[in-house]
Chain A
């Protein structure tokens, strides 16, 4: 039974609500599928024919593993991806898809060294480039940082969009994850992949009164069609969750939240140690001031890197998603990211 079954029949709300996701032009940018592995896909967003290509090196976007990728391509005119391809930057995106039952066997090491590496290689092959500008959003940023530290030769620059790295500042999620009676191993053994509804309910518990603010705003702006469209699109996206591969979830809790091994330099991926101090490519960190999911202190800080590493940080007003994709971000953040990218493109790669 779905919650929509509880709605009264007289208003025909059930039929109206079920039509919303299909009526919205979500994920409007056309793409090609370059490669597939299990439920994962590599999507290519080509530069439109009337736009001159500005960069030889493509962008490789790694979205968060707990949500769908299309938050970065939400609506026409509100799409991060659309903006960059219109600026002449070719984009490849790793769509995690919905993990299949067999993915609960996938270890964190295999995720990085096999799957991630496979899609990066496919991107390099398809774009005829030797490197990529790696962009990681949220947890995708954590994975991107690990991959970039292990395979610097394939990375021209690293851009992190509200990505958690220092899990000692994990906020409320950190408190829950570190709780000694939370038995992650038995949870994963029982469920296989970590069910999306469990993770979503924990995110709802982060700000239990958020729904009240949302309803208040919705009531105020109910006659504003543009607001309604954006609001509904974001709501559809935030309720369209994906499960998390079981073994990887166990590593996320044990290695990251409990041991903070990435920042301590103790993380091992297939016997190779991940050391951020050895990372030498230019880094851009985009963090949000009012982010209650990824706190500013948990994002990459200059002291996590070697002094010589080029580091820049854009601290943006807004929450976890609004800071990156809101109208303010479109006007000020996206052009600055574009400038930063073009600057990296013009500099010679360190070998």
Chain B
């Protein structure tokens, strides 16, 4: 309550300043300060919240009445239709996720298959397929430690 009164007195101060202003720029400056104070004033915010809450409540009641009418006609209401559409979009996303997983699995199997082409044996060590898998030695990445 104290806060409310202190803010209110500063609002009146600002109003006085506007009345005593000598130039339009000064009026504008004080008017801006005044509007700033009003828009954050608890009284203004409480009233605005009250208006919003009442408006929401009346809209909600109207929606509920309409829903009941549709239900009595055994027809899907707006909410049902919204939810169905929303679930369709979620399904679309799930399909995308499954596709992604499938691709990853396919890649993993492909990789496994390339590695498991032929089992290693001593005479096959110079096989070309093996050379493709092994990292190739080049002058730049081989460091001779001896």
Contact = CB atoms under 8 A, between A and B. Distances in A.
Contact of A187 (B36, B50, B52, B89): B52
Interface in A245-265: none
A104 B60 contact: no
B129 interface: no
Interface string A90-130: 00000000001111111000100011001001000000000
B40 A175 contact: yes
| Prevailing SS type, chain B contact patch | helix
Nearest to B61: A190
Contacts of B86: 102-103, 105-106
Interface string B10-41: 00000000000000000010011001100110
A197 to B, nearest CB: 12
A182 B40 contact: no
Interface string A33-57: 0000110000000000000000000
Contact of A183 (B49, B83, B90, B93): B49
B96 A187 contact: no
A192 interface: yes
Interface stretch (A158-166, A204-212, A218-226, A298-306): A204-212
Nearest to B32: A209
A209 B53 contact: no
A335 B53 CA distance: 48
A328 interface: no
B89 A38 contact: yes
A32 B144 CA distance: 54
Q: Is the interface of A mostly helix, strand, loop or mixed?
A: helix
Given A105-B83, A183-B56, A209-B28, A37 B93 contact: yes
A37 B89 contact: yes
A75 B31 CA distance: 35
Given A105-B82, A181-B45, A190 B89 contact: no
B45 A183 contact: no
B39 A182 contact: no
Chain A interface residue count: which class?
20 to 34
Interface in A174-199: 175-176, 179, 181-183, 186-187, 189-192
A114 B35 contact: no
B46 A181 contact: yes
B69 interface: no
Given A102-B89, A172-B39, A209-B31, A186 B78 contact: no
B57 interface: yes
Given A205-B39, A209-B31, A182 B49 contact: yes
B2 to A, nearest CB: 18
Interface of B: 28, 31-32, 35-36, 39-40, 45-46, 49-50, 52-53, 55-57, 59-60, 63, 78, 81-86, 89-90, 92-93, 96, 100
Interface of A: 37-38, 100-106, 110, 114-115, 118, 121, 172, 175-176, 179, 181-183, 186-187, 189-192, 205, 208-209, 212
Given A190-B56, A208-B35, 18 more contacts: A102-B82, A103-B86, A105-B83, A105-B86, A110-B90, A175-B45, A176-B45, A181-B50, A181-B53, A182-B45, A183-B52, A183-B53, A186-B53, A187-B52, A190-B57, A191-B56, A208-B39, A212-B28
Task: Give the 9 A-B CB pairs with smallest separation, nearest first.
Answer: A181-B49, A102-B85, A190-B56, A190-B59, A105-B86, A102-B86, A190-B60, A102-B82, A186-B56
